[in-house]
Amino acid sequence: MVLNRVTYRRRLSYNTKSNKTILCKTPGGKLVVHYATKKTQVAKCGDCKSALRGIPAVRPVKLASMSKTSKRKLTERMAAASVANVSSPGLYGHSLLRNRRLLPGF
């Protein structure tokens, strides 16, 4: 009779959405716990809720470790969003900002 009981490897001992696990069997036949990462979501426009192009869909920790050139469009849109509406923070789509005359040269 084989027991398939495993224990958490980290301090958090509750089944929360940040503590999801996957059971994995090693080549030696031992059952161990692997931790699953959360699914990513695409950044959306604050007004029309459409997906923003050019912004990678990654977790915030990964976004912080990315190079500056790979997230340059993100910083441009965040700056434009702060100009667009201070009362409701968020990211805004390019077409929305162009229609409101907030991006120069269009």
Q: What is the pLDDT, as a whole number, of residue 31?
A: 92
Residue 5: is its pLDDT beyond 80? Answer: yes
35, β-bridge pairs: 21
43, β-bridge pairs: none
CA dihedral sign of residues 92, 42, 17, 61: negative
Q: What is the pLDDT, as a whole number, of residue 3?
A: 72
Residue 79: is its pLDDT beyond 80? Answer: no
User: Rounded mean pLDDT of 42-69?
Assistant: 78
**pLDDT band (50, 70, 90) for residue 86:** very low
**Residue in the structure block whose two tokens are 């958490």:** 8
Report how far Cα 15 is from the mean position of its chain's Cα atoms: 21
Q: What is the pLDDT, as a whole number, of residue 78?
A: 57
More confident residue, 68 or 78: 68
More confident residue, 66 or 3: 66
Backbone angles phi, psi at 99, to 5 degrees: -70, -30
| 48: helix, strand or coil | coil
